[in-house]
Amino acid sequence: MPPVFPSDSSQPPPPSRSEASAVHSDLQGAIARHRYRPERIHSESLNLPLKCSFVVDGEPNVRTGRVLDLSPTGFALRLEDEEFQAAQGAILTSLSLKHGETVFFSGVGRIVYQTAEPNSRIGIRVLSGLLDLQQLGLRDAMAKDGLDKRLKTVQLQFERLSPAWRAAVGDLANLLLTARSFLQDLETTKASANTPTTSVKDEILRDLARGWSPLHLQKITELTSLSHALDEEQMELGRIYAEQQLVPLYYPGSLYRRAITKPRGYAGDYKIMLIYNQHEPNGDTLYERFLDIVGKKHTLSRTVVARQKTAADEIRRAVGSGANKIVSLASGPAIEIGWVLREAEPPDQEVTFVLIDQDEGALAYSYDALHRELLASKWDTARTHIEGIHLSVKQLLKPSDAQEEQIGRQALAGADMVYSMGLFDYLPSLVAQRLLMFLYRHLEPGGTLFVGNLDSEPNTTWLMDFVLAWHLVWRTESDLLRLSDELEPRPESASVKKDSTQRCLFLRVVRPSG
């Protein structure tokens, strides 16, 4: 909010003569008490060391030392020769200051003080000009992430990444550039009073995407294949290369942009899930809206929506079998529960849906959205309950205090079904197995665990890893089943169910009824 200034009529009257005199006196006192202190840089704050060399006028020896701090007019240093003694006012010639291996000042100076051990230091005032601290700061910033370092990275990319791999990245970039150029030209040359409506433009963009996307997905699939043989160093060099070439081209698309920027700390937050479920594309320009349409054509983009339907079917089955409490872990926007409320027949029993998520924003959104769905549904609002619990996996598995432990225990107590769609994509195997055991112990007899995990997909996963930095733990059917090996008591059944795209695998574990 901009500052609010009083109008002329509300301005205070000017000070009286006596008041003005008092103010003037105070200012004089302030000026007398304060002295100008020039800008100063401490060598500890720099990325490269500062060294000094000089000759004391009339002596043959070159003295060297480490600069401790400096201002535009001088600096302090600690000499390598701790026995050196010089008279105050001694003139120093051949005075040179080096930042790393680069000389950034040479001239003449004078010793203004020298202190004794244990903190011996010599103060030197320069007599030939001023020290350019801005230049030094710029040099130091360049040294931290300098062009020479980047050139070394580029050279390594040329040496370690095959021409075929780099060419494939270039082909993908060229494909995006072609689409962007075409749509920007179209937007510029066809702008007129007869511009089509947004819905007409979106339909045209969908037609364009239908012809363009197959080649787009093909190029990503080729890069997936070419990247299988990369070692760890090549993978890192490849990510840098791909990000430089492709991030600016994908960034305008809302799906890609949110995954790249990760405003809530991770790519798969509830807002990106909402974008996946939106029919209308986002964006102000044709290219932005085109990318939004294209982004939803990746197989795993379609999986995000399809796995919700699979989870909704399982929830519907549980409710129809008499479940009283269903827990959604890492619930996100909980769109699947909304579908159940909207489409499933109202149950005879009382039902409680518990939403657990580490993101308060996700809980606020889903709590409000589900209550609106409930009010619009045929379900009995007095017998259908929705609860939101703000907890992370870490707090569940390792609570920091008794209160956190109690909240986690109560959230899961009496659960007939616990499910999660995307959480296990982020968990290494040991953590995933430990969490599965924890959830299983809290299930009611006959209760069901329904845990989703994505399997890799050639036309999507390369882009997620190399461009979007959206790193997941991909699991196969056998990987998921192994997570249930240590469950006690032994499950009544453990099986894997797939969504319609075959890319989200759900581990379905049923606890014995006895």
Beta bridge partners of 66: 51, 78
Rounded-to-integer distance, Cα 304 and Cα 277, Å: 8
Same domain, 455 and 349: yes
Q: How far apart are CA 270 and CA 19, in angstroms?
A: 61
Range of the domain at 325: 300-510
pLDDT for position 194: 63
Q: Where are the beta strands (DSSP E) in 265-337?
A: 325-329
- Assess whether 220 and 339 both reside in one domain: no
Whether 341 and 264 share a structural domain: no
Asked if residue 16 is part of any domain, the answer here is no
Q: Give the span between the Cα atoms of 388 and 408, in whole angstroms.
A: 12
Peptide bond into 489 cis (omega under 30): yes
Domain boundary pick from 123, 144, 165: 144
425: DSSP letter:
G
Nearest to 70 by CA among 33, 104, 116: 104
Residue whose C-alpha is closest to residue 84's, from 124, 48, 50: 124
What's residue 1's pLDDT?
A: 36
Do 167 and 274 have their domain in common?
yes
In whole angstroms, what is the distance from residue 63 CA to residue 256 CA? 58
Q: Taking a C-beta distance cutoff of 8 angstroms, is the pair 442, 222 a contact?
A: no
Any domain includes 12: no
Distances (CA, A) of 94 to 53, 179, 361, 362: 8, 61, 64, 66
Instruction: Report the pLDDT value the prediction gives residue 146, as an integer from 0 to 100.
Output: 64
Same domain, 110 and 192: no
State pTM to two decimals.
Answer: 0.75
Q: Specify if 383 maps to a domain.
A: yes
Indicate whether 268 and 160 sit together in one domain: yes
Answer yes or no: is 23 within a domain.
no
Look at residues 47, 71, 69, 72 and name the one whose alpha carbon lies nearest to residue 122. 69
Query: Tokens representing 128?
Result: 């030939």
- Distances in whole angstroms, Cα of residue 455 to Cα of each of 116, 246, 431, 498: 68, 24, 18, 10
- 8 A C-beta contact, residue 300 and residue 279: no
- Phi/psi for 69 (5° steps) reads -160, 165
Instruction: Kindly report whether the peptide bond that precedes residue 263 is cis, defined as omega within 30 degrees of 0.
Output: no
Q: To which residue do tokens 């000389």 refer?
A: 103
Amino acid identity at 35: R
Element (H, E) at 261: helix 254-261
Segment 300-311, tens digit of pLDDT? 999 999 999 999
The CATH number of the domain holding residue 108 is 2.40.10.220
Residue among 132, 137, 122, 107 at smallest CA distance from 66: 122
| C-alpha dist (Å) from residue 1 to 4, 10, 41, 476 | 9, 21, 35, 53
Q: HSE, CB side, 13 Å, CA atoms: give it for residue 380.
A: 9
**Can you give the pLDDT at residue 4?**
32
Q: Which positions ≥6 away from 349 have C-beta within 8 Å?
A: 322, 323, 324, 383
Regarding whether 307 and 278 lie in a shared domain, the answer is no
The total number of structural domains in the chain stands at: 3
Residue 466: both structure tokens together: 């190399």
207 part of a folded domain: yes
DSSP string, 7-24: PGGGSPPPPPHHHHHHHH
- In this structure, is residue 26 part of a structural domain? no
CB 436 within 8 A of CB 484: yes
In this structure, is residue 15 part of a structural domain?
no
Question: In the structure encoding, which two tokens stand for residue 433, read together?
Answer: 């197995």
Q: CA-to-CA distance for 370 and 207, rounded, in angstroms?
A: 35
Domain end (from 114, 144, 174)? 144
Element (H, E) at 334: none
Considering 144, 170, 191, which residue would you say is the last residue of a domain? 144
Q: Which helix (H) or strand (E) holds 119?
A: none
Buried b (16+ CB within 10 A) or exposed e, 403-441: ebeebbeebbeebbbbbbbbbbbbbeeeebbbbbeebbe
Q: Which of 361, 374, 345, 404 is nearest to 353 (CA)?
A: 374
- In this structure, the answer to whether residues 317 and 200 fall within a common structural domain is no
22 within some domain: no
Handedness of CA 502, 506, 507, 513 (dihedral sign): negative
Residue 169 amino acid letter: V
Selection from 124, 116, 119, 136 nearest residue 63 by Cα: 124
The b-or-e profile of 388-399 (16+ CB within 10 A means b, else e) is bbebebebbeeb
Q: How far apart are CA 51 and CA 49, in angstroms?
A: 6
My answer on whether 220 and 184 are in the same domain is yes
Do 96 and 232 reside in the same domain of the chain? no
Q: What is the CATH number for 445?
A: 3.40.50.150
What element of type H or E holds 357? Answer: strand 351-357
Residues 310 and 292 in one domain: no
Listed as ranges, residues in the chain with pLDDT below 70 are 1-38, 118-119, 144-146, 190-195
CA dist list (Å): 364 to 13, 153, 179: 52, 45, 38
Task: Kindly write down the DSSP assignment for every residue of 32-87, as one continuous string.
Answer: HH-------EEGGGSSS-EEEEEEETT--PEEEEEEEEEETTEEEEEES-TT----
Same structural domain, 495 and 368? yes
Q: Give residue 151's pLDDT.
A: 86
